Amino acid sequence: MTEEKETALVTETASAEENADIAASAEVPEQEEQARENIGADIQPSDTEQSEGNDGSLQSDTVDSTEEAQQNDGKKKIKLPAFLQKFIAYLKAHEDVRQMVYFFLFSMICGASQLIVTYALSAGLKLEPHLGSTGLDWFVFHFATQAEFIGFLVGSVVGQVLTFVLNRKKTFNVPDYVALRAVMYAIMAVLIIIMQTALGGVVTKACWNAKPDANGFLDLLFNLTGQAVGGISALIVNFLGNKFFVMRDWGKKKREAAERAAQANGEAATEITSENRVATECEQASYEQLAATDDVSE
């Protein structure tokens, strides 16, 4: 009996130790999970920190939107008066009128540049004794000094170059055949300068013949009259020569013919498609009618 009791006691002790080990092993994962939760709670920001972060993001978004609005305000175009808007719309709708207005404005700018170069260069060259005292009388060119002729020649070249560049790019917008157009324009410019000088001289001489005893003021008026007549005539001839000769869009007719042909082909294809669709719908309707007739007969 004593041995049986000892054996039973040993067995109970072993089983108790096993149960304790099992319970300890079951508590370890629970403790690890609790520790992870505590660590996560420490890492997560508090409500105050989250609200501060949200406020900071809102402030940064507000600053960005304000900067974008300021940039957009800076990029806004200046609103033109109503009459200028109507005038610009009219120019866009009428190409010939737009070209005349642009050509006139650019001619005024180039003419002013030509005058500045002419008089400034003439005044500088007159400081040289020979150029400032020797006159020039050749062909249609009659100048009191060679300095005036050189200033006139250089100023004319500068003005014509500016006129060619501005009108080619802005007035007539012809980017092709630049070298050929430049040669054609140079020939036309030389002829226009000769015509302008000759015509101005004829008008001035006619004024002098009408009033031989003209004083200094009338002398200036006669010269200005001759220059004005020659300049206006040169402006008209220059515009017509550029529009119909130098700056002419030679491929315009071909492009318009190709566009008309493409449009006609598109319309023909559309008509054929519509006819095919109508025929298909008629065939489908006839098939449906036959099918309905067969169903009725059955």
4 pLDDT above the threshold of 70? no
- Tell me the backbone φ, ψ of residue 45, rounded to 5 degrees: -70, 155
Residues 112-119: what's their mean pLDDT?
Answer: 92
d(CA 294, CA 286): 12
Mean pLDDT of 240-266: 84
Per-residue confidence band for 93, with pLDDT thresholds at 50, 70 and 90? very high
| Cβ atoms of 232 and 107 closer than 8 Å | no
Determine the 3-state secondary structure of 273 from DSSP.
Answer: helix
- Cβ burial 99-111 (10 Å sphere, 16+ → b, else e): beebbeebbeebb
The predicted pLDDT at position 150 comes to 94
* pLDDT of amino acid 118: 92
Task: Find out whether 185 and 220 touch, Cβ atoms under 8 Å.
Answer: no
On whether the CB atoms of residues 231 and 170 are closer than 8 A, the answer is: no
Residue 219 to residue 226: CA distance in whole angstroms: 11
Mean pLDDT of 132-149: 89
Q: What is the mean pLDDT of the chain?
A: 78
Q: pLDDT at residue 42 above 50?
A: no
Beta strands in the chain (DSSP E): 136-138, 141-143
Q: Identify whether the C-beta of residue 10 lies closer than 8 Å to the C-beta of residue 18.
A: no
Q: Coil, helix or strand for 139? A: coil
pLDDT tens by residue, 63-82: 455 555 555 555 556 788 88
Q: Is the pLDDT of residue 121 over 60?
A: yes
User: Residue 158 pLDDT more than 90?
Assistant: yes
The predicted pLDDT at position 31 comes to 52
Interatomic CA distance for residues 2 and 166, integer angstroms: 128
Average pLDDT over residues 116-137: 91
Q: What is d(CA 55, CA 32) in angstroms, rounded to the nearest whole number?
A: 36
Read off the pLDDT band of 219 (50, 70, 90). Answer: confident
Mean pLDDT for 285-298 is 68
Run of H or E residues at 114: helix 95-125
Output b/e per residue, 244-256; b: 16+ Cβ within 10 A: eebbbeeeeeeee
DSSP at 145: S
Helix (H, G, I), strand (E, B) or coil at 46: coil
Q: What is the 3-state secondary structure (H, E, C) of 210-265?
A: HCCCCCHHHHHHHHHHHHHHHHHHHHHHHHHHHHHHHCCCCCHHHHHHHHHHHHHH
Q: Which pLDDT score, from 0 to 100, does residue 63 have?
A: 46
Measured distance CA(194)–CA(230) in Å, rounded: 10
Other C-beta atoms within 10 Å of 208: how many? 16
pLDDT, position 182: 95
Phi, psi of 214 (to 5 degrees): -70, 145
pLDDT in tens, 20-40: 555 445 454 555 555 555 544
3-state DSSP call for residue 142? Answer: strand
